Amino acid sequence: MGKHKQMKLAAYFNPTGHHVASWRHPRAQPDANVSIEHYAEAARTAERAKFDMIFLADANATRSAHIDAISRSVQFVAHFEPLTLLSALAMATKNIGLTATASTTYQEPFNLARKFASLDHISHGRAGWNLVTSNQTAEAANFGREGVHVHAERYNRAREFAHVVQGLWDSWDDDAFVRDVESGLYFEPSRMHELNHVGDHFKVRGPLNVPRPVQGYPVMVQAGASDEGRELAAEMAEAVFSPHLTIPAAKAYYDDVKGRMQSRYNRHPDHLKILPGLSVIVAESDDKAAEDFERLQQLVHPIVGREILSTMLGGMDLTPYPFDEPLPDPLPPTNGSKGHYESIVAMARRENLTIRQLGERVAGARGKNAIHGGPKKVADYMEEWFAAQACDGFCVMPPYMPGQHDDFCTMVIPELQKRGIFRTEYEGATLRENLGLPRPKSRYAR
């Protein structure tokens, strides 16, 4: 690793934070899901800290769960549509990238290309698109569909969808709009292009009725860990949010995807930034961070903890059993992931945990890479991953907001900057420039 290489950071905003009890913490904002002021202040805080981008996840449905549990939850229940929100945040910020999830499953390429091209112009070149496919039956029900397509079919459609979107972004040459007041010529006719795409899933004429984006294409982001997801990332993605919990697993993924980029698509490995998710509780000392972590854990409502535990045990019905007694022995049958099931049951038996305690434990982690400690401990952890070339940086997931987002920006960022592994100033004006990514040439470039 070159001595001047610096990590890239995305700030992943869930309205009140990523911990399931986030909204109950005294330093969270319970009504954040409908507060533009909350988001604007959080965005400006991330920009002062020199984060590369804000990231917003999304789904086309309220999350499915038992009503007793979901009525005590905040994540993926009711929140702003992300592109509308990012357009507003573009006016409250100047440098930070603005990246949102948009599914290829329930949209048409033309609509999506138009929205992200508009966001890129509104923000002067700071837009990013997190390409996902949708696999939730609750989403399908909102679009009159009986169920979801199989995994491979969703990815085949997504690949064609992305190519159509990029083709539409090339509808106009960068210099198409001459706006010659004297002669009366607004655009040069030869610099407008119809796409005329006909494929397995889409038939799209074009041109797009938005000029070519400032960045050529908004930055392409992806999060697939499956084989199809890795292949799509290697072919098209410029940033990837990965889910790995250990350096060896993250390193294997990193080497695999970057290897595919070079061998199959002739892409430079630096033109994709791999950013594992990381949930951080930081405080002045390791002890104070541990106290805050325990406080947050104790805010997990037992009904919410039990629901998440039930899900992680494969949909096992735990409602007949008392909260303050251990898991039943023997356990009722389950169809869930054997790995999750066995590790949770082993932990429960080994530590003699009650259903309440076990629910608290699994609800707090929920499969995320999480750390709590003082600034040095957190920075050491991040630097270890970065130095091992297991990542190019991180997607930072504050457990509660604004409190832990503010603390990360004021405590951890200066420690990373002191070590020379994170910027002190933005390198450029666009998200591409700050990520060190090339601006794609139009397919029609003369």
Summarised one tens digit per residue, pLDDT across range 90-110 is 999 999 999 999 988 888 999
Residue 235 lies in a domain: yes
> What's residue 312's pLDDT?
82
Q: Are residues 353 and 220 part of one domain?
A: no
Residue 93 lies in a domain: yes
Q: Per the omega criterion (within 30 degrees of 0), is the bond before 320 cis? A: no
Q: How far apart are CA 268 and CA 404, in angstroms?
A: 35
Enclosing domain of residue 188: 8-284+374-435
- Please enumerate in sequence order all residues whose Cβ is within 8 A of that of 66, keeping only pairs 6 or more positions apart, or say none: 307
Q: CB of 79 within 8 A of CB of 33?
A: yes
The 3-state DSSP class for residue 317 equals: coil
> What is the β-pairing status of strands 370-373 and 273-282?
parallel
Residue ending a domain, choose from 336, 365, 394:
365
Q: Are residues 279 and 159 part of one domain?
A: yes
Amino acid, single-letter form, for residue 63: R
> What's residue 1's pLDDT?
40
Q: Where are the alpha helices (DSSP H) in 24-65?
A: 36-48
> What's residue 147's pLDDT?
67
Q: Are residues 320 and 203 part of one domain?
A: no
| Overall domain count for the chain | 2
> What's residue 2's pLDDT?
40
The pLDDT tens digits for 25-79 are 999 999 999 999 999 999 999 999 999 999 998 887 777 778 888 888 887 778 8
Q: Are residues 279 and 161 part of one domain?
A: yes
Residue 118 lies in a domain: yes
Positions of the chain with pLDDT under 50: 1-3
Q: Are residues 390 and 423 part of one domain?
A: yes
> What's residue 40's pLDDT?
98
